[in-house]
Amino acid sequence: MAALSAVQAHRGTDGLNPLSSSEESCELLYRIRTLHLRKAQPVVLMPRRERQHVDLAVIKIDLKFLMDRLSKLPTRQELALRPLYIIAGSYGLVIAWIELFRRVCL
């Protein structure tokens, strides 16, 4: 018992100083976090290209493609009016079915 290290005594392995569950969970989280950080790879950024290697024509084509795609997206007004069109259309269909049923079956 006398040969216990200070770390073992602090961790409660000798039975005299048991850790509470919150201390155990904090220590476990600390171990997981440090293990994760050891395994983490450094972030590799894209290397900067030298000015003579930049192809402006390719960039312009990409921008035109993106602008074309963005222009095809519905506008805010179109998105706001779409539910109203659906409601009005379904209301018209219900009225038409009721009128048809009333004229034919009654």
What is the length of the chain? 106
If one compares 106 and 46, the residue with the highest pLDDT of the two is 106
Dump strand ranges (E) for the chain: none
Band (91; pLDDT cuts 50, 70, 90): very high
Whole-number pLDDT of residue 39: 60
Instruction: Look at residue 25 and tell me whether its pLDDT is greater than 70.
Output: yes
Q: What are the tens digits of pLDDT across the range 36-83?
A: 566 655 556 666 667 667 778 888 888 999 999 999 999 999 999 999
Whole-number pLDDT of residue 67: 92
What's the mean pLDDT when you consider all of the chain? 76
Neighbouring residues of 74: CB distance < 8 A, sequence distance ≥ 6: 82
Token readout for 106 is 């009654």
Q: Could you give the CA distance from residue 26 to residue 69 in angstroms, rounded to a whole number?
A: 49
Please name the residue ranges forming H helices in 45-75.
56-71
Neighbouring residues of 13: CB distance < 8 A, sequence distance ≥ 6: 4
Whether pTM exceeds 0.95: no
Instruction: Look at residue 17 and tell me whether its pLDDT is greater than 60.
Output: no
Closest Cα partner for 18 from 8, 28, 26? 8
b/e code 59-80 from CB counts within 10 Å (16+ = b): eeeeeeeeeeeeeeeeeeeeee
Band (27; pLDDT cuts 50, 70, 90): confident
